[in-house]
Amino acid sequence: MSGIVLASTSPARAALLRAAGIAFDIEPALVDEDAVKQSLLAERAAPRAIADALATLKAIRVSQRRPDDVVIGADLVLEFEARLVSKSESLAAARALLLELRGKRHALHCAAVLAKAGAPVWRHVERALLTMRDFSEVYLDGYLARHGEGLLSGVGCYRIEDEGIQLFDRIDGDYFAILGLPLLPLLNALREHSLLAR
């Protein structure tokens, strides 16, 4: 029977799968995501298409190395005011981003792809809309001080699974997708491919 492989080093994605009782291996795809994003942006690809392309590339890359297994590739992109936002490289950049997002709405596009024998066999893209509240700079500075550089691992520099939820007024969309994996559609796909009990 095939195994399940997560083509990601994301602790959040791994935690979601573990919490759901899924046995899996982790094997990073080693994809230059920034180069792929820049190429796709030059072609005027939509954020949804960029998330899907990155998830597909990751899944295929690992699936070529592990053709007998089913590989999960995933990606999450943030769209704000018609542009793609990349991960912040410093807490100062994170602060500037959060101030820019403050009081406004942005979208997250979360893609997941299953691949086997080097080819995609299933894909799903979920979109969530998140509206930040008009928080004070005093609150923001305290938040950044309490959570530090760990916030830099997420594209929006917030973690809604913990204190980051206090940055928001409204969230419309799938909670799991916001964390980086559209879990319910993915679990259904794994069942369809006989990797989980029905």
The pLDDT tens digits of the residues spanning 97-111 come to 999 999 999 999 999
What is the pTM for the complete model shown? 0.94
Examine the residue annotation and report whether 75 is marked as an active-site residue of this protein.
yes
The predicted-structure confidence for 143-188, as pLDDT tens digits, reads as follows: 999 999 999 999 999 999 999 999 999 999 999 999 999 999 999 9
Q: Which domains does the chain have, with CATH numbers?
A: 4-192 (3.90.950.10)
The predicted-structure confidence for 65-109, as pLDDT tens digits, reads as follows: 999 999 999 999 999 999 999 899 999 999 999 999 999 999 999
Between strands 105-116 and 70-80, the pairing is antiparallel
Q: Which member of 32, 52, 69, 75 is catalytic?
A: 75
pLDDT at 33: 87
If one counts every other C-beta atom within 10 angstroms of the C-beta of residue 35, the result is: 9
d(CA 52, CA 100): 26
